[in-house]
A and B are shown apart, each in its own frame.
Chain A
Amino acid sequence: MKRGSISKLLIANRGEIALRIIRTARQLGLATVAVYSDADADAAHVAAADDARLIGPPEASQSYLNIAAIIEAAHATGADAIHPGYGFLSERPEFARAVDEAGMIFVGPPADVMAALGDKVAARRLAAGVGVAVVPGLETVEDRAAEQFAARVGFPLMVKAAAGGGGRGMRLVQAQAGLAEALAAAAREAKAAFGDGRVFLEKYLAQPRHVEVQVLADQHGGVVALGERDCSIQRRNQKIIEESPAPGLDDGLRTRMVEAALKVARVAGYRNAGTMEFLVEGGEFYFLEANTRLQVEHPVTEMRFGCDLVDEQLRVAMGERVGLPAAPRGAAIECRIYAEDAEQNFRPATGDALYLNLPAGPGVRIDTHLMTGARVTAFYDGLLGKLICWGADREQARVRMAAALGEFSLLGITNTAAFLRDVIASEAFREARLSTRFLERFFPRWSPNDEALESLLVAAAMAAGGAIGAARPISSASSSSRGARSDGGRSERGGRSPWAELAGFEPWGRGER
């Protein structure tokens, strides 16, 4: 892997993270290139970058996962570095290798280091090799061996994919009867998501907390840690609320965990921002896996340490040394707002953003690609945005988060903001009774309370009333202005304005004179 300066950065991603990376690149004086699929022609990241290239149809497998098309886009635009963001190709060693072979800088670890750490089985061995505890598990999964392992450690067991992350390819098995089927289903999901169907078994901890350590490593052997994040609140094994510091964590345990994270990073020869994930239960911690990329929840660390992790990533990629981080201040919490229905077991939702109000205020940060008129499709992950709040202490951050979520308003796409507001406002969260079973325990089912329902019905009645005899059809004005945009090649989107579907949408009280 070569070192050198970067002048033009291609971002091989979409959504909020593409926007977030473009922001920092611009602050560093780098030119930026966005890539996009047919479904994203109107997306915010395309407009934000200096240049943009279409890389394929909406299906991720043919666009955002299409290594050849992305390398070609980089060549065509003269980019000399590629940032993978998170998800998509960010943890595919073959992508890192392809970028390297194309003579460009990959903003991430060397391909072989990524391969070693990204494989959960190999990473477990690596950690165990330097004396870091891992969850009892079984690496080679044949039905017979799996049965024996199950007999030894007992159910429930967790089936996990060796590759990838984000909860994909994970299955909880309660009893012998479901074991073979869970192994097969997890292997199928893993094969579909990562092209690698290898799975392994782990003992299932009853009430663990998920705590992870942010590390930053350069190519000169410098490795630093930037505190920890508690990411215990999850649905479908995917985080939705993260915070730093991890509340109530024993200082001794924290210190030992940070040391373990640094040890794993060092022995792996890591370079780049990265995360070492642990499960914490009963005063012990177990290494879980390494994430060799920027995390979704990285802003939590940025808010507390006053740093910019993308800036650090780019500097490391250019061969600079990592410095000692500043002392952390206060506490930070992140809520991920998804296009999902919290009342229907977080079923994914799609739609068009008809109205959007974003929160603001002291200590409030929002990372989002949402805008009025934006369309959310089923093609990609449903993350709409991340709300991050900082406070002098956890309680101030929590109160700010509750208020900020209360300000957030999105019409037209079912989303989790109201659910998150209720979680943040709950006694269980205030008292930090955190475990990965938090939602099962405290929010097994959720629906808007009666006051919220009344407000919604009032809003519905007013919307219906306001639309009667609408004399000023905003819809036609809006769609014609969209159609008139000089966006060569995207004209087919012109007729799909979300406003066109509405019988009438107008500022209340001004329609009828």
Chain B
Amino acid sequence: MRLKRQGDAREFEVELLGQNRQDNADQGDADGRRAVRIAIDGREIAASVATMPDGSAMVDLGGRRARVAGARRRSSIVAAAGPFAAEFVMIEGRTAHRTGGLAAPEVDAPMPGKVLKVLVAEGQPVEHGDPLIVLEAMKMETTLYAESPAIVAKICVVAGQMVDHGARLIELSPAAISAKPPESPSRDD
């Protein structure tokens, strides 16, 4: 399983190698713990785990203890270890878009907030670095800019609207006189 933490460029290959399922709470050994083996980027880690009725577990990683919890979503895993929390995206092969020279064919909200201003109109050509939309979140204004030349294909929000993290704001299509498409466009797989 290949995992990428949200906000972190690195990817990790993580595998649950095995767990001693016999030693669960009903028929566990004396201290109620069981052994779990995990590989992170090929490096094997042995953990001793005590599960809790609330769904969490106390994990002992070679003397370092952490209370951990986790849940699997459709395409990601949320995990907590003590006060640390993270969301890991599961990477399954390549899912590169055919973007026709666009940095990205859509502009999504990088944070939850309010759409303060929409600075472009549908059909309008934009250049790299042109401001597209102004969001307000936590009293701060954030301007989103075009990352490549494009034409505004669709505006999905209106000023004053509240948006969640990841909400689609604007869809872009390749500019008419576009930069050359990628030399060997990656096919969707």
Contacts and interface: CB of A to CB of B under 8 A. Distances in A.
A461 B67 contact: no
A508 B8 contact: no
Contact of A347 (B45, B78, B137): B137
Contacts of B1: 461, 464
A454 B88 contact: no
A411 B34 contact: no
Interface stretch (A115-123, A152-160, A400-408): A400-408
Interface stretch (B18-26, B148-156, B171-179, B181-189): B18-26
Contacts of B140: 236
A350 interface: yes
A510 B164 contact: no
Interface size class of chain B, counting residues whose CB lies under 8 Å from the partner chain? 35 or more
Nearest to B81: A455
A71 to B, nearest CB: 26
Given A347-B110, A354-B71, A502-B72, A459 B36 contact: no
Given A418-B82, A448-B86, A502-B73, A507 B52 contact: yes
A486 interface: no
A462 B34 CA distance: 13
B99 interface: no
Interface string B49-66: 101111111010100101
Interface residues of A, number: 74
A293 to B, nearest CB: 18
Looking at chain B's contact residues, is the secondary structure mostly helix, strand, loop, or mixed?
strand
B79 interface: yes
Contacts of B144: none
Contacts of A347: 110-111, 137
Contacts of B64: 451, 455
Nearest to A504: B72
B162 interface: yes
A20 B90 CA distance: 40
Contact of B82 (A192, A455, A502): A455
A46 B144 CA distance: 37
A412 B156 CA distance: 27
Given A377-B112, A412-B78, A447-B8, A455 B61 contact: yes
A212 interface: no
A166 B139 contact: yes
Contact of A460 (B88, B114, B163): B88
A72 B162 CA distance: 27
Nearest to A340: B138
Interface string B21-57: 1001100000000101010100001010101111111
B55 A505 contact: yes
Contact of B51 (A341, A354, A504, A507): A507
Interface of A: 58-59, 166-169, 185, 189, 192-193, 236, 340-341, 343-344, 346-350, 354-355, 357, 377-379, 381-382, 405-415, 417-418, 420-421, 447-448, 451-467, 474, 501-510, 512
16 contacts: A189-B139, A236-B138, A236-B139, A357-B69, A378-B113, A378-B163, A405-B83, A407-B82, A453-B5, A454-B61, A457-B79, A458-B61, A463-B71, A467-B71, A503-B72, A512-B21
Given A407-B83, A408-B82, A508-B51, 12 more contacts: A59-B162, A347-B110, A354-B69, A355-B71, A355-B80, A409-B67, A409-B69, A455-B59, A456-B84, A474-B55, A504-B72, A506-B55
